[in-house]
Each structure stands twice: as C-alpha cells, then as structure tokens.
Amino acid sequence: MYKKKDKKPDDAGSRLTSLAELGEFGLIDRLTKNVSHFHPETLKGIGDDAAVIDAGEKVILLSTDLLVEGIHFDLTYMPFRHLGYKAAVVNISDIAAMNGIPTQMTVSLAVSSKFSAEALDELYAGILMACNQYKVDLVGGDTSSNVKGLMISVSIIGVANKEDVVYRNGARSGDLLCVTGDLGSAYVGLLILEREKSVFQVDPNMQPELSGFDYQIGRQLRPEARTDIRNLLLGTGIRPTSMIDISDGLASEILHICKQSGVGCKLFEAKIPIDEHTRELAKEYKIIPSVAALSGGEDYELLFTVKQDDYEKIKDVAGITIIGHMTAPSEGKYMITPDGKSIPITAQGWDGMRGK
C-alpha cells in the first residue's frame, strides 16, 4: 500500500524563480556564480565583452553571441543579407570593445524547413560581406534543424597585445566618460520599421513609407563595428581606462562599467550626441530623445573612459564626445539634466529574458 509522504517544512514556502524576474544579467550572475578557472592562461572569463586568454606575447580574445528569430530579429523587415551582416558585426564589435583586432569567426545555424537554400545563401552573403569589410576569416561552424524559425550563433576570435587590452573594470573616479558617434538612431529606426510592419499587417497591399529614414533604418538593419577607434586613439596617444560597446543602451553600459570598476558617475544629458533628424523623429514618437539613446540599444558605438590628464588630447577628436565623468561610488550614478536636476541612471534597455 502506498503511503502519502509528509511535506517537508521547507517545501511549503518554496517556489520556482521565473527568468523574467531575474532578467538577462541576473540569470547570467546566477548561472555563473560557481564558475572557476583551472588554467592560468585564462586571464579574464565571464563579465566583459570578450574572454581573454594568454598566448605568450599576445592574448587571444574570444566572444560569442546568439540571435533568435522573433527575439533579436524580425524577418518581416530584416533582409537575410542584412541579417548576416549584422550577426557578424555585433560580434566584431565585442572585439573592438576590448581594443583588439578581430581575426577569425565561426557561424552555426539552427534552421527550420520553412527556409529555402536561397535564403541561407543570402544570409551567408551578408556574413561574408562583413568578413571582407573587417578582414575576418570565416573558419567553420555547424548546422542543425530547428522545429521553428532561425537561430544564429556566432563566435569570434581576436588578438591584442597584453598591454593594449581594455577591460570594463579599469575606470577610476575622475576619469572622463566618452562615447563615439551618435546614439538613439538604431532605436528610432526600429520604431519606423515596426510602424510600417503594423500598416502592412492591416493592409498587405500598402507599400512601406521608408524614404527619408535611410540613416535610422541603416543603423538598425546594418550597423557597423567601431574597429577604427583603436587606431584613432593610438594616434592621439590615449589608452582608455575602460571600454564597452553599446548594444543594450547607454544607461545599461554605463552601469556595467560602474559595477565592474567600483565607481559612480555623472552623465550630462545635454552632452549625449544625438543625430538631429533622430531627435526630431523621437519627438514625433513622443519619446524624449535622450531616452532613445539611454535605453534604445543596438548603436554599437563604443563607450569608454580616459584619464582626466588626457582631456587636451581627446577634447577635439572628431567623432568622440565627452559626456560626463566617473565619481566615487558613494556619489551614486546620476544623469544631470540641462536644468541641473540629478536623475538616477537605471538600465531600461534590451533584456533578453524580459523581452524588452
């Protein structure tokens, strides 16, 4: 005869933790909290844009990224060639964020039977276009069937001199906070594409109205990695103290640097570089332009810090903007508005677990 087990006291209050509750970075922290390294060659593991492996006089940089249909891209408006290019570029950007040189790449696909071989030809044409643009060798990968949709996994290798590698944890109080290019355009481009998708779903005969938005849509569909910044900074005699690429929004990336470096920061809203047309479009969508820059993501510009002594070297470098400075951790992490108000910086950008 079966006897019913008594419930343990601990079971009464136990519950499962949802992934949405943790969020992407909370999940990463949870899954990797017990990770340890067995080899001294592993100089840096989890927690930066790329892992760093000792290779003698140089280091090997290693990063990987996963793109999932319906989560990271929408084939309603994302051409396969653009998707392939972007899948490669977002990984190349990780190597740029470590101040390294991208060298080799592998690509793995899990693809359903709804896709034709010709569609995958276009995807690979985009990948190879990026490889040619950035002088990266495509050296392998894997393919698998998938019950639904498309998944793309890209792994990339880069190299750097040991003394040239820039981590997220090197910022110090007083360092200047700098960013390349302009921010928020990729998010506005996404809003335009989503708007036209909604129109198409109502009436498939309607033609999309995309003229005049080339820059914003291009920033979303075909971003570029800032591999040029390494040589630009070398030419000015500047070595960043910390660096990260902007994939999840300016606010999120600032907080990553603050957390890894153990510092606070002051970001000046008026200094955030935003394309003027993007600024106008954001207002049309009733979005504060700085919010598009702070939370939009996918700009793939570089956010970095430099010593205050380097101010004269960097203040007039074209394409680089000083947007704030790092502070003692006790001073918190704030954005200063044009009227002098201090607003706490919070990460509201893309989160793969929360789907926002």
Q: Please state the rounded mean pLDDT for residues 187-193.
A: 97
Q: Please say if the pLDDT value at position 92 is more than 50.
A: yes
Task: Quote the tokens at residue 46.
Answer: 């989890």
Q: Considering the domain boundaries, does residue 7 fall inside one?
A: no
**Predicted pLDDT at 1:** 46
Same-domain status, 312 and 221: yes
Kindly indicate the confidence band of residue 235, based on its pLDDT and cuts at 50, 70 and 90: very high
Span 10-34, average pLDDT:
71
Q: How far apart are CA 248 and CA 348, in angstroms?
A: 9
Give 103-154 pLDDT, tens digit per residue.
999 999 999 999 999 999 999 999 999 999 999 999 999 999 999 899 999 9
- Residues 212 and 333 grouped into a single domain: yes
Whether residue 151 is found in the same domain as residue 249: no
- Does residue 251 sit in helix, strand or coil? helix
Of the pLDDT bands very low, low, confident and very high (cuts 50, 70, 90), residue 351 is low
Which tops the pLDDT comparison, 87 or 206?
87
What pLDDT shows up at residue 353? 45
| Residue 223: CATH number of its domain | 3.90.650.10
8 lies in some domain: no
Residue 11 belongs to a domain = no
- Domain presence at residue 27: yes
Beta carbons of 298 and 254 less than 8 angstroms apart: no
pTM: 0.89
Structural domain includes residue 295: yes
- Section 149-168 average pLDDT: 97
What is the spatial distance between Cα 203 and Cα 196, in angstroms, rounded to a whole number? Answer: 10
Host domain of residue 247? 176-344
Window from 199-203, 290-294, 343-347, 351-355 with minimum mean pLDDT: 351-355
Are residue 270 and residue 328 in the same domain, yes or no?
A: yes
Report the alpha-carbon distance of residue 279 to residue 308 in Å, rounded.
30
| pLDDT more than 90, % of the chain | 79
Number of folded domains in the chain? Answer: 2
* Of 208 and 217, the one with more pLDDT: 217
Q: What is the pLDDT of residue 12?
A: 46
How long, in residues, is the chain?
356
User: Do residues 205 and 298 share a domain?
Assistant: yes
Q: State whether 67 and 143 are in the same domain.
A: yes
- Does residue 89 share a domain with residue 187? no
- Asked whether residue 60 falls in the same domain as residue 133, the answer is yes
Residue at a domain's end among 132, 164, 196: 164
- 82 and 58 belong to one structural domain: yes
Pair 119, 188 in one domain: no
Instruction: Kindly state whether residue 35 falls inside one of the protein's structural domains.
Output: yes
pLDDT at 38 over 90: no
Task: Judge if 192 and 157 occupy the same domain.
Answer: no
Domain assignment present for 15 = no
Helices 185-202, 214-221: crossing angle, 10 deg rounding = 100
